[in-house]
Structure 1
Amino acid sequence: MKHLTLNPQLTIKEISIPNTNLNAFIIDDFLVNADSVMHFAKNIAYFNPMYSDNSYYPGVRDNMPEPYVRLLQDFFQENIIPKLVGREQCNTIVHKSLISLVTCSPSQLLTEQKMPHVDSCKDNAFAFVHYLSGEELGGTSIYRYIPKDIIEFHEKDEVILDDMLNEVTSKPVEHHGYITNSTSLFEQVLKVEAKFNRLVIYQGNLLHGANLTSKESYSGDTTHGRFSITSFASISDE
């Protein structure tokens, strides 16, 4: 992957997650030039079928090349870890990074795809979304599960995930497609807009989901569709 370089003029904005002690990080103009990433996405990536990565991501994915993974890991270690209170000396490893294209129409969604989710119930797990499309194709939101008044999940809260699924199943009128706003079960507490070459980082145990409000957001069109790079990292004291 050629010409993959951090932008020395990138900006990092730290925003508070309401009703938690956590922050999300919004990094604008992440790469000097995202052309090589887009070339990979549109011309080289081999997109595997939906669910082949054992997730409920509503589209197709392929692994990102190692140069991107290394760049992301180095950036996280050097620029974000020092900002994490009490974790300034932690080490990080990015263990998965996936070029992702949404392809699933709302009518074909499983129940699990009609609700926000967590990537992990561990507080040492972090999620990254690198947007490769604009605001019109949707960003990411953080939610509160209203019945249990919970935004940040821990291992003891795993049983709540089954409750959430059952509740969503019982309210099909409200949860008939992609969740993009508050419902009687989920309150949207933070909304991050997409922007081309914007990276957003947050803890993976926060309840979250993508804002797919446009038909183009799930068209699967490699020219105009919603491309993003979704990555996952963990941190440790070792």
Structure 2
Amino acid sequence: GVRARAPRLYLEELAPILAPVVREVFGYRERLTFDRALYSMVTTPPGRLSLAQRIPHIDGVEEGMIAILHYLSPQDRGGTGFYRHISTGFETVDATRHGPYLEALQADFARHGEPAAGYIEGDTAFFPGSRISLRRTIARSSTAAACCIAPRSPATRPCPPMCARGD
């Protein structure tokens, strides 16, 4: 897809709104700081996705990190779903689970093959999905998640003639 840094003003406006929620839900007592903020556009056709884009991911294993996702499109083009890795039973992957998780995932691929090219839609062979598609999400960065891309989003449609698309 295409990524760009979000303007600092976006973070400055968002911080006072999110801080009370993060403190209440996650029990944080320190000042809320942002590691990075990115705008992302889904533009990669399903058949060109890398393996990492075809399975749920974690944003980080560091303790105290959270991921905030905010879908800006007025149309419903998908959202975020949460997953559990079948072989390990993990819904979160922190630093102590990271090694065993990667080993189990490699064993899954060796046993069953890699997932077919395409965006994640509901359950997969290795990850039953939450069947939740949220357009605004705050979760621990160690939570297994994936973008649930709507079937009619631009990345899932053939590109018309004279159309440019970034990857």
TM-score, normalised relative to structure 1: 0.59
**2:2 paired residue number:** 60
Q: CA deviation at 1:217?
A: 4.4
Choose which of 125, 128, 136 in structure 1 pairs with 2:76.
136
Q: Is the 8 A contact 2:48 2:117 kept in 1?
A: no
Does residue 209 of structure 1 match 2:150? no
- Calculate percent identity across the aligned residue pairs: 22
Runs of at least 4 residues of structure 1 off by over 4 A? Answer: none
What is the rounded CA distance, in whole Å, between the counterparts of 2:91 and 2:154 in structure 1? 25
Does residue 111 of structure 1 match 2:55? no
Count how many residue pairs are aligned between Structure 1 and Structure 2: 156
Q: CA deviation at 1:92?
A: 1.5
Q: Which runs of 5+ in 2 are unaligned?
A: 160-167
**Letter paired with 2:3:** R
Q: Is the 8 A contact 1:102 1:219 kept in 2?
A: no
Q: Which runs of 5+ in 1 are unaligned?
A: 1-58, 222-238
Instruction: For residues 182-224 of structure 1, give each alpha carbon's deviation from its aligned partner in whole angstroms, at most 9, with x where no partner exists.
Output: 1231011251343xxxx32111100000001324242699xxx
**Letter paired with 2:21:** I
**1:102 paired residue number:** 42
What is the rounded CA distance, in whole Å, between the counterparts of 1:165 and 1:212 in structure 2? 25
Q: Which has the higher strand share?
A: 1
Over the residues paired in the alignment, what is the CA RMSD in angstroms? 2.4
Q: CA deviation at 1:161?
A: 2.6
Choose which of 69, 72, 85 in structure 1 pairs with 2:14.
72
Structure with greater contact order relative to length (CA < 8 Å, sep ≥ 6):
2
Give the 3 Å change call, closer, same or farther, for CA 184–218 of structure 1 in structure 2.
same
What's the secondary structure of 1:129's corresponding residue? strand
TM-score, normalised relative to structure 2: 0.81
